[in-house]
Amino acid sequence: MKESMPSITGCEVNECAYNSENNCHAFAINVGGPDDVCPNCDTFFSSHSKGGHKNLIAGVGACKAETCKYNSLFECVARGVQVKLHESHADCVTFVAR
């Protein structure tokens, strides 16, 4: 069993309130969404103000993408996660279908 959550190794969604210099500064993100084809970063929201903790790089708190090979009992077991903008929302691009 993995004892720590994987870090967000990069986030290209500059519109997100937690993004600063391509890093996510939330405590953790949740991944999932209405379908597994597009595993959204559920923590994403757009804001002109920036939040989070500058000395903290986010991890993955929960993964609801059941068909991802990195999903083990709704926990992410990837070494790291990348988030990018897809259309008008943020997606986990580390997702790989089983």
Mean pLDDT of 81-98: 93
Mean pLDDT of 23-52: 88
Mean pLDDT of 6-27: 96
Mean pLDDT of 49-53: 94
Mean pLDDT of 75-92: 94
Side-chain half-sphere exposure of 25, counting CA atoms within 13 A: 14
Read off the pTM. Answer: 0.90
Average pLDDT over all residues of the chain? 91
- Please count the residues of the chain: 98
Q: What is the pLDDT of residue 34?
A: 58
| Rounded Cα gap, residues 1 and 12, in angstroms | 30
Q: Taking the CB of residue 26, how many other CB atoms lie within 10 A of it?
A: 23
Which is nearest to 77 in space by CA: 31, 22, 19? 31
| Rounded Cα gap, residues 45 and 15, in angstroms | 8
